[in-house]
A and B are shown apart, each in its own frame.
Chain A
Amino acid sequence: MNDSSAIRPKRVTFLIYLLPSVILFAFMVLVPVILAVRYSFFNWSGGPKMDFIGLENYMTLLTDSYFWNAFLNNLLIVFFSVFGQIGIAFVISIFLMSKVVKLKGFHRTVIFIPVVLSSVVIGFLWGMIYNQDAGMLNWFLQTIGLESWIKPWLDDPSLVMYSVTVPIVWQYIGFYLIIFLAAMQSINNEVYEMAELDGATGFKKMRYITLPLLSSTIKIAIMLCIAGNMKAFDSIFVMTGGGPGSSSTVMAQYAYDTSFKAYKLGYGSTISVGIMVLSVGLIIISQLFGGKNRA
C-alpha cells in the first residue's frame, strides 16, 4: 500500500469518502447479526411480549428434526452440486479447450445464460417441465414410449429433493465453466507440447497436466459451490415451497416458514444463527481439507 501525504485529502473529505459505506454496511450486516443473536434468546412472536428464555431455543434447535432434515437437504444439494456442477463444467471446459469443437464463443455464451437468469424464472421453467399433467418431461417420456417412467416429479416426497436439485445444478454449470476456462487458458501451451512429444494422449494430458494444474481453482470452485448452495432458496420456494410436507425444505425455507408463517420470530432468529454457524463452519472445514491436500 502506498501512502502519499501529497494526495491525502482533508480529514473531513476523508471521512465523507469512507463513512457512508461503513455505516450502511454495519447497519445492514453487523447490526442484524447482533440482533439475531439477541433475539435468539427470546420467545417472541413479533408483538410487545418477549420472554427471555436463555438457551432454550438452542436446545430446541439441536433436537429439531425439521431443522436437521433441512440441513441434510442442503447438504444433498451441495453434494450433487459439487460433483454435478464442477464435474460437468470441467468436462465441458476440456471439450471447449480442445481443437475439435467449433464456435467456442457461442457455446460459452449459451451455457452461461442460465447463470444470469433469475432463479425464480428458473424455478418456474422447471416447475413447468416437471408438471405432472402438462409438463414437458412427462410428455417427452410418453413420446419415446417410457410411460412407466412418468412420475409426479415434484409431488413424490422421496423424489422431490432430486427433482429440485437438477435445476440448481443446471443453472450454475456455466459459472464454473467460465472459471475453469479462464484457468485453463492460463496454462502454458508448451507444457502440453512437451507432453505430446513424450507421447501423452488426450486423456493422459487431462489427467496428469490439466487436473493437477487446476487443483487450486477446483478448490476455490468447491468452496464457492458450498457457500452458494447453502443458501439455496429461490427456485425451491417457487417449485415446491418446501413441500410436499417438509420433504424439500431447505434451511432458508425453514427459517422463512418459522418466522413468517408460524410467527416465531425468536426461534426464527435462532435458526438464522444456526444457518450462519453451519455455513461458515462448512466453508472452514472445506478450506482445512483443501489445505491438507496442498501440502
Chain B
Amino acid sequence: MKTEQEFSLNIMSLPSKPQFQNFIDAFEIGKMGTYFWNSAFVSLFTVIFTILFGFFTAYILARFKFPFRNVIYFMFLTGMLIPIHGLLIPIFIEFKALGLLNKHVTLIFPYVAFNLSMAIFLFENFIKTVPLDVEEAAVIDGSSSTNTVLRIVLPLCMPVISTAVILFFLGAWNEFPFALVLIESANLRTLPIGLTNFNGQYTANYTQMLAAMAIVVLPVIIVYLAFSKKVMQGMTAGAVKG
C-alpha cells in the first residue's frame, strides 16, 4: 500500500498514506483479474471432479471384491510415490500430441489425476469405518444402489469430503510447474504464473508485485484461517496413517 518512491526510501516503514493504486495497477497492468478468474475456474473444477471420481472409486474399492481390485488399489497408491515433477515433460509431449495444450480445461486433467491418489486413500479409509448395515437396510427397503450411495454414504462422508475440498482447492490454487509448462497463452495463465510476470529481467516494481502477491495469498489465508484445523488435519492425514 506504499508508493514505489516511498518503498525505495525505506522498506520497513509503514506507509505514510495508505493507497490502493498498486492493487488497481496489479489488476489492470498485470492482468491479475484474468489470472484470478482462471485460477478460480481451474481450482473449482479440479475440486469437483476429484471429489466426484475419487468418492465413487473409493466406495467401490472399500466395499467390494472384484478381479484386479488390488492391482487398481496399488496403482493409485503408487501415484503418491511417483515424483510428479518427473512427469512434467512426458505430459507436455502427450498433451501436445493430443492438442490439449493451452485450453481452459488443460490444467484440470493433471490436477485431478494427481489428487486422485490422495482422495481415494482418504475416502477409502473413511468409508471402511461406515457400518455396512445402514446400506443393507436401505437396499432391503427398496432403495437402488445409486440412491443408497448418494443418500446415505455420501452424507456420512461429509467430514472427510470437506477436508478434501479445502486441501485440493489449496493445492490447485498454488500449483506452479504444470501451469508453467502446459499453458502458453497469456490469457489462460493462473495466478502463480501471472506473478512471475512482475519479475521482469531489468525492472522489478516491488510495490506492485507485493500487491499482486497479496491478491494471490488473500484467498488462501482466508480459507486457512477459517478452516485451519481441517487444513492441518487434511495435509497431514496421509502422513500420520502412512
A interface list, Cβ under 8 A from B: 1-4, 6-10, 13-14, 16-18, 20-22, 24-33, 35-36, 39, 46, 108-109, 112-113, 115-121, 124-125, 127-128, 134, 136, 139, 175, 178-179, 182-183, 217, 220-221, 224, 227, 230-231, 233-234, 237-238, 251-252, 255-256, 259-260, 265, 268-269, 271-273, 275-276, 279-280, 283
Contact = CB atoms under 8 A, between A and B. Distances in A.
B63 A7 contact: yes
B14 interface: no
B53 A275 contact: no
A24 B49 CA distance: 11
B109 to A, nearest CB: 6
Contact of B83 (A6, A115, A134, A227): A227
Contacts of A108: 232
A18 B60 contact: yes
Contacts of A128: 206, 209
Nearest to A24: B113
Given A29-B79, A116-B220, A13 B89 contact: no
24 contacts: A3-B64, A7-B135, A17-B60, A18-B60, A22-B57, A26-B75, A29-B87, A29-B114, A32-B90, A112-B228, A115-B235, A116-B174, A116-B224, A118-B176, A118-B191, A121-B217, A124-B213, A233-B85, A237-B176, A255-B86, A256-B181, A260-B181, A268-B89, A283-B81
A65 to B, nearest CB: 20
A213 to B, nearest CB: 14
A276 B83 contact: yes
A120 B240 contact: no
B156 interface: no
A295 to B, nearest CB: 20
Nearest to A174: B232
Interface of B: 7-8, 11-12, 53-54, 56-57, 59-60, 62-66, 72, 75-76, 79, 81-94, 96, 109-110, 112-114, 116-117, 120, 128, 132, 135-136, 139-140, 145-146, 148-149, 170, 173-174, 176-177, 180-181, 191-192, 195-196, 199, 206, 209, 213, 216-217, 220-221, 223-225, 228, 231-232, 235-236, 239-240, 242
Given A6-B139, A21-B57, A269 B170 contact: no
B11 A136 contact: yes
Given A8-B64, A120-B192, A269-B93, A25 B116 contact: yes
Given A7-B139, A8-B64, A121-B213, 8 more contacts: A6-B139, A33-B82, A39-B90, A108-B232, A116-B174, A255-B88, A255-B89, A279-B86
Among A26, A28, A136, residue most surrounded by chain B Cβ atoms (within 10 Å): A28
A13 B239 contact: no
A13 B206 contact: no
A124 B216 CA distance: 12
Contacts of A268: 89
A238 B199 contact: yes
A66 to B, nearest CB: 16
A20 B58 CA distance: 12
B176 A25 contact: no
Nearest to A113: B224
Contacts of B196: 120, 238
A220 B242 contact: yes
Given A220-B242, A272-B86, A13 B220 contact: no
Nearest to A120: B192
Among B81, B85, B116, B231, residue most surrounded by chain A Cβ atoms (within 10 Å): B85
B142 to A, nearest CB: 12
Contact of B231 (A6, A27, A116): A116
Given A9-B146, A29-B79, A121-B217, A256 B88 contact: yes
Nearest to A105: B228
Nearest to B131: A2
A120 B86 contact: no
